[in-house]
Structure 1
Amino acid sequence: MKTLQSVEQFETIKAQGKTVFVFSAGWCPDCRFIEPFMPALETKFNDFEFVLVDRDQFIDLCIELDIFGIPSFIAYKDGQETGRFVSKDRKTQQEIEEFLLAQ
C-alpha cells in the first residue's frame, strides 16, 4: 500500500481513477487489527489504488475531511467522493469488503 507523502499528493491521487484512502496511526490498536488482512483486500479489490494516510502526520487533512476515528476509509472516483466508512469502531474484514463492494 502506498503511503501519502503530502496534501498535494492527496489532491493528485484522488483526482485520478478509483482510490481508497486508509486513515491510520502507529499507536492505534484497531489499525493494527486490520493490517493482516489488508493485503488480501488490496488484491481482491485491485481496481482501487489504496493509500495509507498517517492521521498524526496529516491531522489538518483529517479535520478537513471529518476523520475523527481510525481506522477509517474514504473512496474516490475521478475526484468525487463515492463513499466513506468512518467511525471510531474496530472494523472487520467483512465490513471493509462490504464497504468496498458498494463503491
Structure 2
Amino acid sequence: MHLYGLKNCDTCRKALKALPDATLVDVRSEGVPDAVLEQAYHAFGDQLLNTRSTTWRGLDEEARARPALALLKEHPALMKRPLIQQGSVLHLGWSKETQAALGAV
C-alpha cells in the first residue's frame, strides 16, 4: 500500500499511523507516477485538486485555468491528500469512508 502525500501534512501522518503497512511517498520529492496520477484523475476528477492549498492560492488565473493533470504534474503539492493506493484501488482523503474501507477505524 502506498500513501501519496507530504511528510509534513498532519492528515497524512494520521493516515500513516493508522496504516502501519503503508509506505509514504512524498509527492514533493518523489512525485506521483504518471499512471497513478492519471488513474486518480479518472476516478476523482477535479476533486483531486486541493483548491484550498497555499500552492493554489499562489497561482495566477492563467495557471489555474490549465488542465488539472498538467497542474498536478508541475505542482504535486496541489493534490488533495492523502491519495492511498491499495493494489489497483485508490482512495482520496482521510474521511470516515476511507478509514472504514481500509479497516482503519
- For normalisation by structure 2, the TM-score amounts to 0.45
